[in-house]
């Protein structure tokens, strides 16, 4: 939050940089008018001296910032940059001294007792140092602005890369689910099972959810929970008496958001490996809990069919599970825990901090892209 506030402040400063520069030069005039005025006892002469030399300083400062830096320094033409910088510094210094000696000192308000030093070396060095000093803060401001913009561009490229990766992951997830469900539907149709009609309706509802609602960066947890229930009903329709599914849900009263389809791959895997090959007595236990600290605790445990016992080492290595692990890494970083075991049963235990992925945070940073 503090970092977001700081970025907003920096953006406002850059948006009003003309005002910042005006304030800088007003401060310059005020400071040196008081300094030289108190030194020589004449504030009027000091003010008009600074005012008449100001155009030369502006020419030097913004010539360096707007021309020399972008065209030479930023393009790694270091030697040429310093050569032209030296020429500009000497040229503007001579012009400033010329203005002071032959114009300002002849004006009626100038105090004749004030030393002019003409063009001696000491006076030229002082004028050059004053020019360099005038350049310092605007140049630092310009360098910081460029660095900040480069950081934003780098972050944008990183976000685009993540967005492309997530689009790829999601493109794999949808066909994976669809093919499994169509296979189920096909098996019911060829056996003229009456459950096929209800399965089509469930599938239509789920696909509508996946194609339209689940494309958002986040959705309400209550919506995701309804989707999970529909999916379980669909699979129970498919397996009938072979499948005993127990779902326990316990959430707090607060509204939460979550990345869509996060629990789907684990449920798919449980139905696939827990019930395929079982003629009876297959079971799946699912527990979904949200505690008072807004941590989602998701547990799924299922029996392992005889057919799948031979391939037990591959239970946690499917494309869908690899995808969801990658999504968790990108979305929640250190705000999740995932443990998968497969002995006599297959167990998944996932904990996710739902506060780590709020809609407000995504709108500001775009870090989460699915």
Q: Does the structure show a pLDDT above 60 at 173?
A: no
How many other CB atoms are found less than 10 A from the CB of residue 317? 10
191 in the same domain as 273? yes
CA 211/CA 201 separation, integer angstroms? 15
Q: Does 92 lie in the same domain as 163? A: no
Q: Which pLDDT value is given to residue 7?
A: 72
pLDDT at residue 247, rounded to an integer: 94
For residues 45 and 104, give the distance between their C-alpha atoms in angstroms, rounded to a whole number.
9
Q: How confident is the model over 14-56, as pLDDT tens digits? A: 888 899 999 999 999 999 989 888 887 778 888 888 888 999 9
Q: Which helix (H) or strand (E) holds 290?
A: strand 282-290
Terminal-residue alpha carbon distance, the chain: 22
- What are 63-104's pLDDT values in tens digits? 999 999 999 998 889 999 999 999 999 999 999 888 888 887
Domain closes at, from 65, 92, 119: 119
pLDDT for residue 311 = 55
Same domain, 22 and 81: yes
Residue-wise pLDDT for 272-288, tens only, equals 776 665 556 788 999 99
131 falls within a domain: no
Shared domain for 330 and 203, answered yes or no, is yes
Report residue 68 as tokens: 């020399």
Q: Is 147 exposed, middle or buried (0-12, 13-18, 19+ CB in 10 A)?
A: exposed
Instruction: Tell me the CATH number at 173.
Output: 3.30.565.10
On whether both 247 and 314 belong to a single domain, the answer is yes
Percent of the chain past pLDDT 90, that is, above it, reads 28
Is the same domain home to 289 and 184?
Answer: yes
Q: Do residues 218 and 368 touch, judged by C-beta distance below 8 A? A: yes
Full-model pTM: 0.54
Judged by DSSP in three states, 212 sits in: coil
Apex CA 260: angle with CA 259 and CA 263, to 5°? Answer: 95
Based on the fold, state whether residues 90 and 184 are members of the same structural domain. no
The share of the chain scoring above pLDDT 70, in percent, equals: 79
Q: Residues 220, 224, 226, 229: what is their CA dihedral angle, to the nearest 10 degrees?
A: -160
What are the C-alpha distances in Å from 360 to residues 208, 247, 291, 297? 26, 31, 21, 23
In terms of Cα–Cα distance, which of 245, 198, 252 is closest to 222?
252
Q: Output phi, psi for 274, to 5 deg.
A: -85, -25
Tally of domains within the chain: 2
Q: Would you say residue 327 lies in a domain?
A: yes
Q: 125: which 2 tokens?
A: 């060095």
Mean pLDDT of 192-203: 78
Mean pLDDT of the chain: 80
Q: CB-side exposure of 306: number of CA atoms within 13 Å?
A: 5
* Same domain membership, residue 308 and residue 212: yes
- Domain membership of residue 165 (yes or no) is yes
Secondary element (H or E) of residue 217: none
Confidence label for 154 from pLDDT (cuts 50, 70 and 90):
confident
Nearest-angstrom CA–CA distance, 141 and 148: 10
- Indicate the residue among 92, 119, 146 that finishes a domain: 119
Expressed as residue numbers, the domain containing 323 is 156-365
298 and 232 assigned to the same domain = yes
């Amino acid at each position: 939050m503090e970092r977001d506030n700081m970025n907003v402040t920096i953006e406002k400063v850059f948006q009003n940089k003309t005002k910042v520069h005006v304030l800088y030069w007003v401060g310059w005039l005020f400071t040196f008018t008081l300094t030289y005025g108190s030194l020589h006892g004449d504030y009027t002469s000091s003010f008009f001296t600074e005012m008449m030399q100001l155009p030369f300083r502006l020419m030097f400062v913004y010539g360096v910032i707007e021309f020399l830096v972008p065209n030479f320094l930023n393009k790694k033409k270091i030697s040429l940059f310093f050569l032209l910088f030296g020429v500009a510094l000497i040229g503007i210094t001579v012009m400033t001294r010329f203005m002071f000696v032959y114009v300002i000192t002849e004006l009626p308000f100038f105090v004749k007792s004030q030393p002019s030093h003409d063009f001696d070396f000491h006076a030229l060095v002082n004028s050059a140092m004053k020019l360099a000093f005038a350049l310092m803060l605007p140049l630092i401001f310009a360098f910081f602005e460029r660095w900040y913009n480069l950081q934003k561009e780098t972050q944008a490229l990183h976000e685009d890369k993540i967005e492309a990766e997530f689009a790829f992951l999601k493109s794999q997830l949808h066909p994976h689910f669809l093919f499994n469900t169509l296979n189920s539907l096909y098996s019911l149709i060829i056996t003229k099972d009456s459950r096929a009609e209800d399965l089509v309706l469930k599938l239509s509802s789920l696909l509508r959810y996946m194609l339209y609602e689940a494309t958002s960066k986040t959705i309400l947890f209550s919506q995701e929970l309804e989707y999970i229930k529909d999916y379980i009903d669909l699979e129970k329709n498919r397996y009938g008496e072979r499948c005993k599914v127990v779902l326990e849900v316990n959430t707090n009263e607060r509204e939460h958001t979550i990345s869509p389809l996060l629990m789907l791959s684990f449920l798919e895997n449980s139905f696939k490996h827990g019930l395929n090959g079982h003629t009876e007595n297959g079971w799946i236990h699912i527990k979904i809990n949200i505690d008072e600290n807004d941590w989602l605790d998701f547990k799924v445990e299922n029996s392992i069919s005889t057919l799948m016992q031979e391939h037990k080492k591959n239970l946690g290595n499917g494309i869908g599970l690899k995808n969801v692990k990658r999504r968790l890494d990108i979305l929640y970083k250190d705000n999740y825990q995932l443990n998968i075991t497969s002995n006599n049963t297959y167990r998944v235990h996932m904990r996710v901090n739902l506060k780590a992925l709020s809609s407000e945070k995504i709108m500001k940073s775009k870090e989460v892209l699915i």
